[in-house]
């Protein structure tokens, strides 16, 4: 898969442990809090919040947790302020890495990012050092099994998608602009097509092939970044 890289597929095939579920809920709550703070608590008028809430519901987050997160973001009881920071980095094999974080302590976060990088063979770069290799896109991943490629292509393009990638053996990847993402997602859902993953994320324009020891080191580096409580998303241009 382009940009998404094989790493996304590897993650999808892993068993979800209680720890992973807790980390996922933490990320979803932060996204809801930030979305409500930036765009207000009204789902109808705040597309980012609406998508965050839908993703939380798909992940079986209790409604009470969702309501509390919206309230916190809107300045209610237990209100929180998270700062969104993106770090650009290099990993083993010269792979470009983008790290999106949400933190209430930027000094802690940058210290932890540098520690993880130095421990697993990477280093933090300057702003702009690798960001130019990535573009923000809507990503909708659909299992190929039992699906008709022509139908998916027609539905996606009619709804405003940019592209349908078919190079992965197990999944179709629909790519959209961020602005068209929700419209395309709704069209795919309305057609009853199963969705494995959907999000607005970063896609790399060029890929770097990594193998053997370097691939193992890079996979461990990404795993450690993703386990950090301040990290929301990790993207790379690695082709495993």
Give the chain as a 3 state SS string: CCCCHHHHHHHHCCCCCHHHHHHHHHHHHHHHHHHHHHHCCCCCCCHHHHHHHHHHHHCCCCHHHHHHHHHHHCCCCCCCCCEEEEEEEECHHHCEEEEEEEECCHHHHHHHHHHHHHHCCCEECCCCCCHHHEEEEEEEEEECCCCCHHHHHHHHHHHCCCEEECCCCCEEEEEECCCCHHHHHHHHHHCCCCCCEEEEEEEECCCEECCHHHHHHHHHHHHHHHHCCCEEEEEECEEC
Residue 223 lies in a domain: yes
Q: pLDDT, tens digit, for every residue of 51-75? A: 999 999 988 999 999 999 999 888 8
In this prediction, residue 224 carries a pLDDT of 95
49 within domain boundaries: no
State percent of the chain over pLDDT 70.
90
* pLDDT tier for residue 160 given thresholds of 50, 70 and 90: very high
Q: Is residue 26 part of a domain?
A: no
Q: Give domain status of residue 52, yes or no.
A: no
Kindly state whether residue 74 falls inside one of the protein's structural domains: no
Percent of the chain whose predicted confidence (pLDDT) is above 90: 75
**pLDDT tens digits, 70-126:** 998 888 765 567 899 999 999 999 999 999 999 999 999 999 999 999 999 999 999
- Look-up: residue for tokens 């896109």? 137
CATH number, domain at 217?
Answer: 3.30.70.980
pLDDT at 21: 72
Average the pLDDT over each of 9-18, 41-50, 129-138, 184-193 and give the range with the smallest value. 9-18
Does a structural domain hold residue 219? yes
> Is the Cβ–Cβ distance between 113 and 232 less than 8 Å?
no
pLDDT in the model for residue 12: 53
Residue-averaged pLDDT of the chain: 89
Whether residue 155 has pLDDT greater than 90: yes
pTM listed for this prediction: 0.82
**Residue 220 in this model has a pLDDT that exceeds 50:** yes
Counted domains in the chain = 1
Q: Classify burial at 165, counting beta carbons within 10 Å of its beta carbon; exposed 0-12, middle 13-18, buried 19 or more.
A: middle
pLDDT at 15: 47
* Residue range(s) defining the domain that contains residue 101: 83-132+206-239
Q: What is the pLDDT of residue 1?
A: 45
Instruction: With cut-offs at 50, 70 and 90, classify the pLDDT of residue 9.
Output: low
| Inside any domain, residue 72 | no
Whether 113 maps to a domain, the answer reads: yes
């Amino acid at each position: 898969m382009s940009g998404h890289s094989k790493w996304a597929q590897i993650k999808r095939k892993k068993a979800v442990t209680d720890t992973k579920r807790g980390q996922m809920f933490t990320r979803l709550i932060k996204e809801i809090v930030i979305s409500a703070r930036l765009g207000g608590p009204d789902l109808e008028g705040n597309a980012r919040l609406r998508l965050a809430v839908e993703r939380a519901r798909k992940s079986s987050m209790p409604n009470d947790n969702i309501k509390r997160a919206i309230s916190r973001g809107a300045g209610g009881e237990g209100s929180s302020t998270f700062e969104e920071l993106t770090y650009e980095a290099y990993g083993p094999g010269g792979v470009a890495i983008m790290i999106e974080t949400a933190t209430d302590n930027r000094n802690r976060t940058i210290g932890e990012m540098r520690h993880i990088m130095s421990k697993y063979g990477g280093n933090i770069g300057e702003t702009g050092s690798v960001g130019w290799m990535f573009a923000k896109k809507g990503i909708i991943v659909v299992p190929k099994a039992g699906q008709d490629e022509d139908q998916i292509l027609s539905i996606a393009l009619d709804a405003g998608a940019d592209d349908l990638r078919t190079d992965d053996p197990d999944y179709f990847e629909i790519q959209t602009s961020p602005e068209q993402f929700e419209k395309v997602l709704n069209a795919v859902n309305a057609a009853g097509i199963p969705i494995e993953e959907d999000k607005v994320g970063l896609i790399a324009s060029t890929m770097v092939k990594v193998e053997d020891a370097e691939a193992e080191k890079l996979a461990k580096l990404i795993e450690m970044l993703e386990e950090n409580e301040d990290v929301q998303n990790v993207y790379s241009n690695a082709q495993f």
